Amino acid sequence: MGTLTVRENLLFSAALRLPSSISFKEKEERVSQIITELGLSKVADAKVGTELIRGVSGGERKRTNIGMELITEPPVLFLDEPTTGLDASTANAVLILLKRLSRRGRTIIFSIHQPRYSIFKLFDSLMLLALGKVLYHGLAKQALTYFNSIGYQCEPFNNPADFFLDVINGDSTAVAASKGDQRSLDNGGTGGGVIGDEEQNVDKSVVETLHQLYLNSSQYRDTEEELKKVELRQQNEQGKSRRVNEVTYANGFFTQLYWVSKRAVKNLIRNPQASVAQIAVTTLLALVVGAIFFGVKLDQSGIQNRVGSLFFVTTNQCFSSVSAIELFIKDKKLFVHQYTSGYYRVSAYFFALIFGDLLPMRTLPGIIFSCISYWMIGYQAVAGRFFFFMLTLVLVSYTATAMSLAISAGMDVVAIANLFITICFVFMLIFSGLLVNLPSVMGWLNWLKYFSIPRYGLTALQVNEFRDLYFCGENPQNIAASHRDAADCSSNATQFGETCYGETYLCSQGIASTNWAMWENIVALGCMTAIFLLIAYGKLRFMKKFT
């Protein structure tokens, strides 16, 4: 939301929440009308802003949020503390705007904490709540009269809102209407330095007393009669009413996918710091790795350097995907709000974010890393092997990203998700095939290798690189490929204790040197990616969204 302009945010709401029967031009006209109505014309094309990008002021941001709800012209508008974080003048301007909107036939219900008097006098109705109990509900202008009738008198020139809070908290200096009343004693007993649990107990007793007094008042009886009428009307219309917490949508899946994807692309383009930094780091790492392993040779050192470089590039692709954990965490509140408000389905949101993250943020760095490191290190100069190298790195990145999403989806704290993912990658590296010889691992632990993402990537890259390589001087061209395969694991494949054929090294690691030995790892990575994405979607789908 932050990198979009005020107009774009309102148009996003209009495009998804107004039915498809309304033309796009009419939706734009509706947005222009809302901008004029809310006094946002001067900042219509300014960015709303984020914690890193300076945008519109706090009051203008509040009015933008209100405008996104007004798009559908709701008869009832619910707002949660619309003045929080605003200065006194801006808060007053927002409430005057809401007052003007209410005079046009809308019912506006909002929560507010300790408003100034100029705001309080704008209220038509007032409900006071404490500890989940109703202490007053009725006309705002009759609230002082009600509290005076139960023994609490507001001092002259005191803000009624402050007076009500003082009474509820047991700190009121108001004089009881009738001396000697037990209610007055309860109120007076809270002063004089009562602290800790005792003060909390007194507060609860004051709230309970005020609640009981309200239940015995005429205001409560009038409200109860109205509620009974509403309940009776709902019972008569029970067959027509929809279920509680059922979300309805004004548009189809593809329309939702288009607009959410469009928003994700705009956010990526207008806030490029993360993507630019990732590409810069990827380029630097590729150059460093290429320089360290530059021009690997066809001798015994070449075996070690090839394996070490392949292990590094595979590990780098895994850990560079950890940044994906913020994808579902940083915008969790926005997602829950817009989903429950009927903007889009979970599936549309999920696919839009996957397309907006997997394709640009995971594919492009893998391609850049491959183009730089492959030729600098000096792997086999064969086009097919190069493109297979690139495909493997991208798939490893996809799988690691999908696992990060599966772990972080539904979480609230980035640090906890980061810890879980790091632990998983550490165990995966142990069973990747370099730090330990997998054929020698005991059977009751050997099965863990099937859950190692780096193992699949490293195995595929090793088969791709080591096949058809000869490490003992000049390659004897008279040895047929069939004879070489037969001698892979025999003593004929070595010379003076040295490994001569790449196939021999693969065999010592328990890896076959066939085409399927490469592609089975690609299939495994694809399946793991799909499984992790299904887990991530399931966690989003069944995450608690209603309170």
Q: How many helices (H) and strands (E) does the chain have?
A: 23, 6
How many Å apart are CA 102 and CA 430, to the nearest integer? 65
Torsion angle, alpha carbons of 45, 49, 55, 58, to 10: 110
pLDDT at 444: 65
Tokens of 31: 């947005």
How many Å apart are CA 29 and CA 24, to the nearest integer? 9
How many Å apart are CA 390 and CA 382, to the nearest integer? 13
How many Å apart are CA 181 and CA 471, to the nearest integer? 102
Q: Which residue stretches of the chain have pLDDT < 70?
A: 1-2, 51-52, 171-203, 237-245, 437-444, 446, 473-498, 547
pLDDT at 37: 82
Contacts of residue 431, Cβ cutoff 8 Å, sequence gap at least 6: 438, 441, 448, 449, 451, 452, 455
pLDDT at 530: 95
326: DSSP letter: G
Q: What digits encode the pLDDT tens for the residues 74-98?
A: 888 888 888 887 788 888 888 888 8
- Delimit the domains of the chain by residue range: 272-467+513-541
- Which H or E element spans position 117? helix 117-120
Amino acid (one-letter) located at 152: Y
Torsion angle, alpha carbons of 527, 528, 531, 534, to 10: -110
Spatial contact of 138 and 219, defined as CB atoms under 8 Å apart:
yes
Amino acid (one-letter) located at 483: H
Q: What is the DSSP string of 431-498?
A: TSSSSS-GGGS-HHHHGGGGG-HHHHHHHHHHHHHHTT-B-SSS--TTS-HHHHHHTTTSGGGEETTE
Tokens of 303: 């075996």
pLDDT at 490: 53
User: pTM (2 decimals)?
Assistant: 0.79
Q: What are the CB-based long-range contacts (under 8 Å, 24+) for 469-474? A: 469/298, 469/380, 469/501, 469/502, 470/298, 470/500, 470/501, 470/502, 471/298, 471/299, 471/300, 471/302, 471/303, 471/498, 471/499, 471/500, 471/501, 471/502, 472/498, 472/500
End-to-end C-alpha distance for the chain, whole angstroms: 23
Q: Residue 242: helix, strand or coil by DSSP?
A: coil
Contacts of residue 462, Cβ cutoff 8 Å, sequence gap at least 6: 307, 310, 433, 506, 509, 511
Spatial contact of 432 and 458, defined as CB atoms under 8 Å apart:
yes
